[in-house]
Every structure is written in structure tokens, then in C-alpha cells.
Amino acid sequence: MVIEAEVDFIPHGSAGDILGTCAIPLSAWCRRAVRLSGAEGSGIVLRFADEIRFVAGSGFPWYDVPPIAPEESLFSSVFTSRRSVVCADVDCDPSIASRLEAQVIGIGAFVACPLENAESFLGALVVHRKIATDWDPEQIRRLEGFSDALSLFMSGALQCRHFRMPGLRSVSSTRVALSPIARSAVTQAVFTEAGMIAKYSFPVLVLGERGTGKGVLAEHIHSLSGRAGPFVSVNCAALPPDTIEDALFGHKKGAFTGALSDRAGHVEAADRGTLFLDEIGDLPWGAQAKLLRLVERNEIQRLGEDTVRRVDVRIVAATNRIVSPSDANRVLREDLYDRLAGHLLTMPPLRQRREDLEALIDVFLHRTTVDLHRPVAGFTIEARDALLKHEWPGNIRELENVLRGACLRTRIGEAVRIDALRIDAARGGTGEEPPKPLPPAETQSNRPRNVTEADLRAAFERHGGNISRIAAELHVTRQTVQRRLRTMGLR
């Protein structure tokens, strides 16, 4: 098994060569262990398929220690008992005084704490001194708690596939970063239903607030569909209005100025796979009309081309806006809605998924500490309570932002405190609803809005000339606002 990682071993010819490079996080944990225990050096030893290796260290040349068979290691008793081992004087036991680590490093006394979780044994955190010495029980207690935090960190990093260590006995090969987290009953119901319809080709429309994981659900459907093609995700809200057709369907050489060669669009890129149209409600109604042919007959035409191309694409669309045909403020054409809603799924907001929240907090903390190279030792009780009580109106996206900021404001190796979170914990448990989504920002072509000069001037003054906010309030396009303002001499 190969697990992507921050520690990548490169074999060399002599023992004096550096065996490999260790990423900042593991070295940082070692430095913190030295400060906690009052030791002179600290290292992390991991158990591979048939040997033990130092993969990080502080205060000693850990890279000079060659791989050792588990039964011949100075720390073999940790691997067999999976309990902390305290040695005040290595020389008192000739059987261990002659061990290779003691000779190479010059260890006189050491403490080794196991690194493990409920599923697997990873290795040991070792601190040592050069001369024989008694270890303070309080220092040992702190070190054991610290090794538990390190175990949690490494397990999460392995699950998020941030380690590449051939042969390492890891907790799992599961890609948590891509796997849906569905521990609450409401989320399990959604993913179970998604699994039941995944193998069929009819379109799926996913509803839900921003940041609830609609994209994860769409990718989950694709992963279970058995379709041979790729999963292509398109953020419709990010497509410039004048390039939407080109982006989706492509163009023929010479179709417009700058079209120097034929180019396929996102639809053709998703052939035999899944096309995920995120925030489809942000598409202008004119662009929505051009999707009908694709949804109805799986046919497209590139810009400037007469040829009709057939594609085999499964469409999954998502929006956080109103889509009901009976609602006057709907953002989807009725004919497109009828065809997209072959099956409707709704992702619940995070405030309704408390069991998911607990797992997401741990997974995102691990991912963030690895990405930022800032390992932290979990949360204080107060901080975790604040996270669990918060209503999360921004859903998963807000959670990720809060945890990223908290890691940056927390010292390496310490627990995240409540003041590092910078969230309003007092909101927790109030049951307050999140802010309502903004009204649609695009004009619906078959229901034009008559905007008077007085309306436009008043909106211009209210929003300080901000085109996007004016357009959203008046339900017109940004281009319409800009054109009218130029006519009025305000631009």
C-alpha cells in the first residue's frame, strides 16, 4: 500500500547519508516533546512491514540510525506490549545497552510512548537523555497525553492520505478527504437514496444551502454510477455571461474573433461520465434554454458549427435558490426544471447534522494541520463545546474557515482554545435560521422587470454605486445596470 505523505524516504549507500527528509509537522512535534519532558532529544519511530525506522527527530542525528528489525530494537518492548516503557539507566540491562540505537545515539535513559489508535499500531514517540536519570512522573504523564495527541494527528493525516511511506502499517487506505461523512440519520438517508439511483442515467437535481456538500454528493453519485468517463464540475456562477455557451459546448475555429482552433466544451469533456452543474440557478434564462437540447436528447452544437454532436452525459445539477415552478421568484425555467428534476435530493444544513459535525471537526482539523504544517493537540473542552453548539449558518465552508484560522492562531503542539476559534458560541442551540438567500441576480427573459430611472438612482445611492448589489436588488443583469447608468451619466 502506498499512502501519500510528507515524509518520503530516499535510500542511500552509507549510514552517514540522510535516509530521508521529514516534513515540518513531525519535527515540530519532536521539539515540543523535548520541551515537555526536559529531555535532550526526541524522535518518532514507525513500524514498517519488516523493520523499524526513525522518521523524525530533534536534538540528535536520528537520520544516522539505520533501519532495525523490530525484535532487535531498543524499543521492542513498546511494540510488543503497546504500553509506555520508562528506562532510567540503559547500562543496568546489558541486553538493551548493546542495542544499535543506544550505541549510535548514545542513549543513557529514555521514555517511549506508543503511537496507536483503535485500529492500528503505528510506532512510538521516544525522548531520551545521554546520562542515566530518573524521570519525573508528572513529565511522563504529560508525555503520554502528548503522544495520544500525536497519535490522533498522525491517524488523521494517514486517513487524509498525506503520508507516502511504502510498507507502513497504517490505519486505513480509505480516502477520507473524498469520502462522504454521513453519520447522522438525515445524511445517511440522502446518501442511501443517492446510491439507489446512481446507476441510472436520468438527471438529478440537488438542493440545499451553500456549503452543505452538494458537490460531494454529486461526486458520490458518479463514483457509484459505474460510468467510465470523468466527473466534470462546472461552477455556473463563475461563468461570464458572454462565454457561457462557449464554455459549455465549445466552438469551431473561426466562430468568433480569437477562435484560432476547434475547442471542446465542458459537456464533451464529460462524455461517458458525469457533468455537475453547480449553482445552475445563477445561469441566465437564455443560457438555460440552450441546455434543454442537451438534457432532452443528449445533443449539442459547438459555436459556429452546423454538425450536431451526440454525447453520453449524466447531468447532476445543484442550486441553493428557489426552483419550484409555482414560485414567482424561481430561478429555473419551468421546462428545464421539469427535465432536470428526474430525481430531487436535498442536502440538509450542518445544524441538522450534529453527528456529522463531530466527525467533520476532527477530519478538517487533521487536514488543516497537515496542509498548514501546524500540528495542534486537538481542542480544549470549552473550544469543542463551542464548535458543537454553534449553528453554522455558513455550513461546512464556514467550519473549514474557522478551523483554518484557529490553527494559525494556536501554538504548534498545543490544544486549540476557545478564543482562537473566533466564533459566536452564544448562538449555539438557539435554533436561529440562517440568512435567507439573496434574490436571483439575473433577469428572467420572459418576465422582464421595468426599472425606472428613479429606482435606479435610489439603488445607486443606497449601494454606493456597487453594480452587483444594484443588479441583485432590481433583479436585472450587471450589464443592464451599467448600460442604464451610462445613459444617465452616472458612469
Distance from C-alpha of 398 to C-alpha of 394, rounded to nearest angstrom = 5
297 residue type, one letter: R
Q: For residues 274 and 482, which has the higher predicted lDDT (pLDDT)?
A: 274
Q: Which regions of 48-108 does DSSP assign to beta strands (E)?
A: 52-58, 85-87
When pLDDT is averaged across residues 223-231 and rounded to a whole number, the result is: 91
Cell (9 digits) for 75: 524499543
Q: For residues 126 and 362, which has the higher predicted lDDT (pLDDT)?
A: 126
Q: What is the mean pLDDT of the chain?
A: 77
CB 310 within 8 A of CB 299: yes
Q: What is the pLDDT of residue 324?
A: 64
* Tens-place pLDDT, residues 444-485: 333 334 677 778 888 887 777 778 778 777 777 777 787 788
Confidence bin at 194 (pLDDT 50/70/90): very high
Cell (9 digits) for 438: 439573496
405-to-393, 408, 419 alpha-carbon distances in Å: 17, 5, 11
Distance from C-alpha of 487 to C-alpha of 478, rounded to nearest angstrom = 14
Query: Please, what is the Cα angle at 302 between 301 and 305, to 5 degrees?
Result: 85
83 residue type, one letter: R
When pLDDT is averaged across residues 296-317 and rounded to a whole number, the result is: 90
Distance from C-alpha of 299 to C-alpha of 271, rounded to nearest angstrom = 11
Name the percent of the chain lying above pLDDT 70: 80
Whether the per-residue pLDDT at 169 is higher than 70: the answer is no
User: Half-sphere exposure (CA, 13 Å, Cβ side) for 87?
Assistant: 28
Q: For residues 291 and 324, which has the higher predicted lDDT (pLDDT)?
A: 291
Q: For residues 206 and 355, which has the higher predicted lDDT (pLDDT)?
A: 206
CA–chain centroid gap for 450, Å, is 44
Q: What is the pLDDT of residue 328?
A: 59
Whether the per-residue pLDDT at 205 is higher than 90: the answer is yes
CA dihedral 290, 291, 297, 298 (to 10 degrees): 120
Q: For residues 68 and 329, which has the higher predicted lDDT (pLDDT)?
A: 68
Distance from C-alpha of 24 to C-alpha of 31, rounded to nearest angstrom = 11
Q: Beta strand pairing status for 20-21 and 8-9?
A: antiparallel
Q: What is the pLDDT of residue 6?
A: 30
Q: What is the CA radius of gyration of the chain?
A: 29
When pLDDT is averaged across residues 57-79 and rounded to a whole number, the result is: 81
209-to-287, 295, 327 alpha-carbon distances in Å: 23, 24, 18
Confidence bin at 325 (pLDDT 50/70/90): low
Weakest-pLDDT range from 193-207, 364-378, 471-485: 471-485
Distance from C-alpha of 21 to C-alpha of 414, rounded to nearest angstrom = 24
Q: What is the pLDDT of residue 158?
A: 59
Distance from C-alpha of 310 to C-alpha of 228, rounded to nearest angstrom = 17
Q: What is the pLDDT of residue 155?
A: 67
For 366, other C-beta atoms within 10 Å of its C-beta total: 25
Weakest-pLDDT range from 106-110, 117-121, 384-388: 117-121
Q: What is the pLDDT of residue 118?
A: 57
Distance from C-alpha of 224 to C-alpha of 197, rounded to nearest angstrom = 9
Question: What SS3 state is found at 21?
Answer: strand
CB 115 within 8 A of CB 122: yes
* Tens-place pLDDT, residues 380-439: 888 989 999 999 999 999 999 999 999 999 988 788 999 999 886 334 333 334 444 434
CA–chain centroid gap for 217, Å, is 14
* Tens-place pLDDT, residues 136-164: 888 888 888 888 778 777 766 555 444 43
Confidence bin at 253 (pLDDT 50/70/90): confident
Name the percent of the chain lying above pLDDT 90: 21
Q: How many helices (H) and strands (E) does the chain have?
A: 18, 16
Q: What is the pLDDT of residue 432?
A: 39
Whether the per-residue pLDDT at 133 is higher than 80: the answer is yes
Q: What is the pLDDT of residue 424?
A: 62
* Tens-place pLDDT, residues 14-50: 222 222 233 335 777 888 888 888 899 999 988 776 7
